[in-house]
Structure 1
């Protein structure tokens, strides 16, 4: 049975405890891993968050799965607090739910994405859209 993307997004978000940009920033200072999944062109246009780990969406699961041969050193275990960031907070919800499927059940995303982060006046660099 086919579902709409809105239904899939709602189901994904039902599994998450999403955070505001301010909460994400505070958690990042306390050791959470903020993972920016935007493609390079989008980061160049919008800007970046200093200290965020860049992992483009197409390789996210392989890089953060603690059992993957392609994992990053930051993928230390299933209890890792991962906060996913995209441009507006849609793709990041789907990505965080996918991380839940891998056992990273503390994963979540930023409400409103990078655009909300920047609008909140949180640390950001670069971007031609700024």
Structure 2
């Protein structure tokens, strides 16, 4: 009876564990949370040396090693989905992404471009189609 109780306990614990996200989704999630919290060392583990951040038709840079960001991520973000081309992961869409340039904040759908190298995904670009408030798209 003890063996059955142990088995039930082990199965219950296993059922409560959250499933591990796929590597590209985990990379996007780590990137967004590290960027939003300005955890530069963590950001360097998933970001290219220089990440282009496009807000509407304007381009900005994010340089984790230099701890430099011309654009800030504004929490919360939600809705990560995989983008594939010819069955290869190319990026992740974000259903709602908030970005702040200076005093202007914009919120809307966005995308994260990934590059796979030696089995690891790296963020190379973030973009949102929304122009900062007060600017024509």
Asked if TM exceeds 0.5, the reply is no
If each structure's helix is expressed as a fraction of its own residues, which one has the higher value? 1
If each structure's strand is expressed as a fraction of its own residues, which one has the higher value? 2
TM-score, normalisation: structure 2: 0.28
| Structure whose CA Rg is larger | 2
TM-score, normalisation: structure 1: 0.29
Task: State the structure with bigger RCO (CA 8 A, min sep 6), 1 or 2.
Answer: 1
